């Protein structure tokens, strides 16, 4: 098998069952040969967290406990021979929410222990990158540059081979998905913010640009200044709107004096108008896409990458995909939408290449909420 050259020769039908519970998706998948997805089941908790405008860790952990067994059962149903067709078990052990990670990791360990199967803890960031190996005719070619953009992470890495990573840059403050989510909240759009902003930007009449944090001579990123710029513009817009349509306080009486009553409270923050929201969403997205694209293209040039891989939830963004493909000198790959956001098939793919290089985890493996790429 060319794609595991120099590694232990795992059989073509080596089948891994993987679990992913690092955040707000409970997922189980069965993947054959590191690349063929036989089952990919995801139970999203999005609706539950939507009302809070973000993920509530305690709620997420409890929901994983409820969803794990049905999700697992559904994934396993893809194998006619059932458990007998599973050769190894994997689960995400970081980065992510500790309580959430524990649910999947412990379930995976229990299964592996009970069935006497090899077990491996997988790095979630690694897994996002390996989504690019799933269901493709030609696997990615090293060396390559990976741009990982998710709700919790933003980083650029050089991959010289399986498991051989060099971190080139990362965010110094907000992750890009986090910035999408926060800006959506400022604009009164739904959670998760990424798809909501992309949609609002689509029909907008562009007006003005927002700042870009270039952080010259570095592959690092920064998005918190951009988020603050949107916040200030939104506040200005609301003040303007309040001046045009003044408060509903009592009018002065005929003699020009206000009645002797307690002052009316300040007019409540009113929803921003759709035109402004569209323009802000558009300008924000363009700013983010410009910086991400420029740095990924430059990194690929500097390191002679043969490909650029896009990974993580924000890789679902159509504008980012389009712009990166337009500006890059080398082919740009991105996973299909369903494999960009959190899923367990990507965990199984990453696990396959680790197992192939002889790696396994011990029963003592703990969760690591701040696990870094390449560890």
Can you tell me the distance from the alpha carbon of 140 to that of 162, in angstroms, rounded to the nearest whole number?
11
Q: Residue 104 interacts with ligand KG4 (CB under 6 A)?
A: no
178 sits near Zn ion (criterion: CB under 5 A): no
Among 174, 181, 307, 323, binds ligand KG4 (CB under 6 A): 181
Residues 8-27 that bind ligand KG4 (CB under 6 A): 23
- Is 193 a binding residue for ligand KG4 by CB under 6 A? The answer is yes
Among 45, 150, 171, 317, binds Zn ion (CB under 5 A): 150
Residue 313 within binding range of ligand KG4, rule CB under 6 A: yes
Q: Which is nearer to Zn ion, 24 or 307 (CB)?
A: 24
Q: In what order do the strands lie in the sheet with 144-149?
A: 164-170, 154-161, 144-149, 307-311, 332-333
As measured in angstroms, the least distance from the Cβ of 37 to ligand KG4 is 17
Residue among 46 and 245 whose Cβ is closer to ligand KG4: 46
316 binds, among ligand KG4, Zn ion, none (CB under 5 to 8 A by kind): ligand KG4
List 119, 133, 165, 180, residue binding ligand KG4 (CB under 6 A): 180
Q: Which residues in 134-151 are b (16+ Cβ under 10 Å) and which e?
A: beeeebbeebbbbbbbbb
Query: Hey, what long-range contacts does 333-338 have (CB within 8 A, 24 or more apart)?
Result: 333/132, 333/136, 333/140, 333/307, 333/308, 333/309, 334/132, 334/309, 334/310, 335/131, 335/132, 335/134, 335/310, 335/311, 336/135, 338/40, 338/42
How far is it, in rounded angstroms, from Cα 152 to Cα 97? 10
Nearest distance, CB of residue 312 and ligand KG4, angstroms: 4
Q: Rounded to whole angstroms, how far apart are CA atoms 97 and 119?
A: 21
- Among 20, 126, 174, 198, indicate the residue that binds ligand KG4 (CB under 6 A): 198
**Cβ-Cβ contacts under 8 Å for 231 (sequence gap 6 or more):** 186
Among 99, 192, 278, 335, binds ligand KG4 (CB under 6 A): 192
Instruction: Enumerate the β-bridge partners of residue 56.
Output: none
329-348 residues in contact with Zn ion (CB under 5 A) are 342
Which of these ranges, 27-35, 84-92, 145-153, 174-182, lies near Zn ion under the rule CB under 5 A? 145-153
- Measure the CA–CA gap between 288 and 221, rounded to whole angstroms: 10
134 Cβ partners below 8 Å, 6+ apart? 31, 35, 36, 37, 335, 339, 345, 346, 349
Of Zn ion, ligand KG4, none, which one does residue 99 interact with (CB within 5 to 8 Å by kind)? Answer: none
Q: Which does 317 bind (CB under 5 to 8 A by kind): Zn ion, ligand KG4, none?
A: ligand KG4
Stretch that binds ligand KG4, among 101-109, 186-194, 236-244, 346-354 (CB under 6 A): 186-194
Contact of residue 198 among Zn ion, ligand KG4, none (CB under 5-8 Å per partner type): ligand KG4
The partner in contact with residue 95, picked from ligand KG4, Zn ion, none with C-beta cut-offs of 5 to 8 angstroms by kind, is none
* DSSP annotation string for 1-43: -GGGTTS----TT-EEEEEE-SSSEEEEEEEETTTEEEEEEEE
Closest CA to 348 of 11, 8, 18: 18
Interface map 116-155 toward ligand KG4 (x if CB under 6 A): ----------------------------------xxx---
The nearer residue to ligand KG4, 10 or 176, going by C-beta atoms, is 176
Q: Is 154 in the site for Zn ion (CB under 5 A)?
A: no
**326 to each of 39, 190, 329, 331, how far by Cα in Å?**
33, 30, 9, 10
Q: Which residues bind Zn ion (CB under 5 A)?
A: 150, 342
Q: Which residues bind ligand KG4 (CB under 6 A)?
A: 23, 150-152, 177, 180-181, 192-195, 198, 312-314, 316-317, 341-342
């Amino acid at each position: 098998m060319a794609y595991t050259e120099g590694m232990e020769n795992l059989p073509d039908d080596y089948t891994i069952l993987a679990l992913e519970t690092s955040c707000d998706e409970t997922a189980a998948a069965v993947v054959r040969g590191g690349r063929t997805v036989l089952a990919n089941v995801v139970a999203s908790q999005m609706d539950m967290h939507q009302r809070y405008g973000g993920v509530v860790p305690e709620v997420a952990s409890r929901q994983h406990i409820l969803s794990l067994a049905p999700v697992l059962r559904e994934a396993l149903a893809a194998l006619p021979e059932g458990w007998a067709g599973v050769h190894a078990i994997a689960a995400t052990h970081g980065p992510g929410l500790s309580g959430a990670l524990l649910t999947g990791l412990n379930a995976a360990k229990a299964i592996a222990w009970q069935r006497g199967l090899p077990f491996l803890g997988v790095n979630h960031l690694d897994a996002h990158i390996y989504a690019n190996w799933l269901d493709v005719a030609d696997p990615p070619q090293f060396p390559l540059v990976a741009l990982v953009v998710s709700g919790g992470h933003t980083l650029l890495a050089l991959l010289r081979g399986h498991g051989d990573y060099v971190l080139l840059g990362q965010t110094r403050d907000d992750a890009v998905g986090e910035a999408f989510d926060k800006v959506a909240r400022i604009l009164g759009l739904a959670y998760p913010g990424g798809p909501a902003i992309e949609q609002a930007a689509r029909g907008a009449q562009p007006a003005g640009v927002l700042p870009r944090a270039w952080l010259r001579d570095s592959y690092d990123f920064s998005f918190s200044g951009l988020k603050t710029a949107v916040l200030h513009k939104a506040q200005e817009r609301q003040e303007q709107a309040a001046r045009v349509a003044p408060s509903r306080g009592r009018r002065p009486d005929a003699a020009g004096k206000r009645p002797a009553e307690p002052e009316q409270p300040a007019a409540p923050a009113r929803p921003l108008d759709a035109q402004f929201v569209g323009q802000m969403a558009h300008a924000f997205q363009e700013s983010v896409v410009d910086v991400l694209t420029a740095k990924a293209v430059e990194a690929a040039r500097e390191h002679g990458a043969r490909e650029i891989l896009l990974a993580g939830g924000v890789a679902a963004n159509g504008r980012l995909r389009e712009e990166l493909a337009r500006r890059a000198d080398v082919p740009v790959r991105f996973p299909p939408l369903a494999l960009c956001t959190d899923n367990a098939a990507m965990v199984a793919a990453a696990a396959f290449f680790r197992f192939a290089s002889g790696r396994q985890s011990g029963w003592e493996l703990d969760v690591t909420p701040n696990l870094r790429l390449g560890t």
